[in-house]
Amino acid sequence: MVIIGLGTVWILDGLEVTIVGNLSAQLAKEGSGLAITQAQVAGTAAALYVAGACMGALFFGWLTDRFGRKKMFIITMVVYLVATAATAFSFSAWWFFLFRFLTGFGIGGEYAAINSAIDELIPSRHRGRIDIIINGSYWLGAAGGALLTVPLLNHLPLNIGWRVAFGMGVVLGLVILLVRRHVPESPRWLFIHGRDEEAEGLVDGVEKRIEREKGVELDEPSQSMTIHQRKSIGFGRIAHTMVARYPKRTVLGLSLFIGQAFLYNAITFGYAQILSTFFGIQTETGYYFAVIAVGNFLGPLLLGRFFDTIGRIPMISGTYILSGVLLFGTAWLFDQEVLTATTLTACWCVVLFFASAGASAAYLTVSEIFPMETRAMAIAFFYSIGTFVGGVSGPLIFANLVESGRPGDTALAFCIGASLMVAAGLVELFLGVKAEGRGLEDIAEPLSTAPS
């Protein structure tokens, strides 16, 4: 229930980003119903979507720590649904830009509420692989979005196909919302905010169900702590905790997010533009992107368990650095003009197999290494700052460099992304936290902890 109700938001994000990227060439054609260029779709609209996600993460992240996980993951889904439906009815560029921003606003809020809830409901020994696989499910949505655009672009009128594509996101979102109503609030959040009877009732219910189904009696917890309950924690205390109490962890979080945000937002929004500019592929870009998406999902799926067994530091640093090195090689081959659309897709598939596992671990890292009261806000802070720096600049830089039509310019864009990934991997190597198999309160003591 937790995985389906909460984890599926990543599928929605992948669907959204990929649909826009693969529709960019069609939206720019005369008769689409929008007076817009491909560079505006892949650049301006993409940047606005990411900017909205950054602001939404901060706004809803603060509300999530204050009013609870469950309220926010219902509200943010409603914001997404309304904005996506409105996008499907776009009649001009400004309307399209506005509701791409608001769609991102809802998705950004999802990240803060969802990741904090997932990590607080998943057992420590499985937290790494589950979180990474859930984050990697973004690429299931990306593959679905890529394949969805092919028949819509080829078999429906030019001004209808792209509207139906956005409508599919609304349908999936409604299904997720129905499941999500049954996902419980985080017992940790309930207890710290003075709702201890609710928290105890929730946990007791789960324990009794397991004892009944398994026919065993569960052991009592081996450790305990005393909590000073409070309704809310001020933003100043949260900021002080992140900057003064955990400065190295703050640098680590920013590095991981900036590296992956630049690479991923640039390639997901701009790959269709690369295919159409250099290889003349217009309406079938979805097939190529679907292959990349499958490679991206296989990375977290196959490598996820090693983040719990081998450990966070070697796996995160290794996946970041290796993907960066492989991307440097791809840039050189592209500059030499020896790649076709198929071989370029194969290269990206290998690069992103490793990069996807590392990028998923970035969300896992920042949700683990800060105190419970700041968890949603920490996710929001690192996502918004990292994504604003890397995610807004990435699509803009890629779109402008690719638009020139010179292979060397696109290769330069590849190298920028590779450099940021390698740098982030080195930061993880020196500042990473050994969080595998440890309880969240052991990694970072709650701010509400009181003397026993």
Residue 343's pLDDT is what? 93
Residue 268's pLDDT is what? 63
Encode 379-390: b = buried (16+ Cβ within 10 Å), e = exposed: bbbbbbbbbbbb
Kindly tell me the sign of the dihedral angle through the C-alpha atoms of 170, 358, 349, 25. positive
Q: Poorest-confidence range of 63-72, 319-328, 366-375?
A: 63-72
**CA gap 135, 110 in Å, rounded:** 12
Cross-strand bridge partners of residue 226 = 450
Residue 422's pLDDT is what? 95
Residue 248's pLDDT is what? 94
Concatenating the DSSP letter of every residue in 226-279 gives: EE---S---HHHHHHIIIIISHHHHHHHHHHHHHHHHHHHHHHHHHHHHHHHHH
Encode 197-214: b = buried (16+ Cβ within 10 Å), e = exposed: eebeebeeeeeeeeeeee
The CB density around residue 123, as the number of other CB atoms within 10 Å, is 9
Residue 283's pLDDT is what? 63
Alpha-carbon distance values, 235 to 57, 161, 230, 377 (Å): 15, 45, 14, 9
Concatenating the DSSP letter of every residue in 349-362 gives: HHHHHHHHHHHHHH
HSE-CB of 84 using CA atoms within 13 angstroms: 27
HSE-CB of 270 using CA atoms within 13 angstroms: 29
HSE-CB of 448 using CA atoms within 13 angstroms: 21
442: burial class by Cβ within 10 Å (0-12, 13-18, 19+)?
exposed
Residue 441's pLDDT is what? 87
- 234: confidence class by pLDDT, cuts 50, 70, 90: low
Amino acid at 373: E
In the predicted structure, residue 421 carries a pLDDT above the cut 80: yes
Average pLDDT score, the chain? 84
CB contact at 8 A, 324 and 303: no
**CA gap 355, 316 in Å, rounded:** 9
The CB density around residue 91, as the number of other CB atoms within 10 Å, is 10
Kindly tell me the sign of the dihedral angle through the C-alpha atoms of 298, 396, 403, 148. positive
HSE-CB of 138 using CA atoms within 13 angstroms: 24
**CA gap 436, 311 in Å, rounded:** 6
- 28: confidence class by pLDDT, cuts 50, 70, 90: confident
Q: Which of 109, 13, 132 is closest to 54 using CA atoms? A: 109
DSSP state of 447: T
Convert the pLDDT of each residue in 134-193 to its tens digit. Answer: 888 888 887 777 777 777 777 778 788 778 888 877 887 888 888 777 788 888 888 888
Kindly tell me the sign of the dihedral angle through the C-alpha atoms of 411, 290, 140, 297. negative
Convert the pLDDT of each residue in 191-228 to its tens digit. Answer: 888 888 999 999 998 889 889 998 888 888 888 888 88
DSSP state of 374: G
Residue 30's pLDDT is what? 80
Give the percent of the chain with pLDDT over 90: 23
CB contact at 8 A, 370 and 242: yes
Convert the pLDDT of each residue in 71-109 to its tens digit. Answer: 887 888 899 889 989 988 888 888 989 998 998 898 888
**CA gap 116, 110 in Å, rounded:** 10
**CA gap 246, 381 in Å, rounded:** 14
